[in-house]
Amino acid sequence: KVDVTFETRQAVVTFDDAKTSVQKLTKATADAGYPSSVKQ
């Protein structure tokens, strides 16, 4: 699930950690031209 707020340029991603990882998600977004990072 992804919730995007365009005004703040932020997205909240909810995922199944049995199927992927934060590292794989951030690599996928970077490979698509949208670098990302984890915000706590």
Question: What is the tens place of the pLDDT at every residue in 1-40?
Answer: 999 999 998 999 999 999 999 999 999 999 999 999 998 7
Does the predicted TM-score (pTM) go above 0.85? no
Alpha helices in 1-40 (DSSP H): 22-31
The closest alpha carbon to 31, from 39, 19, 23, 40, belongs to 23
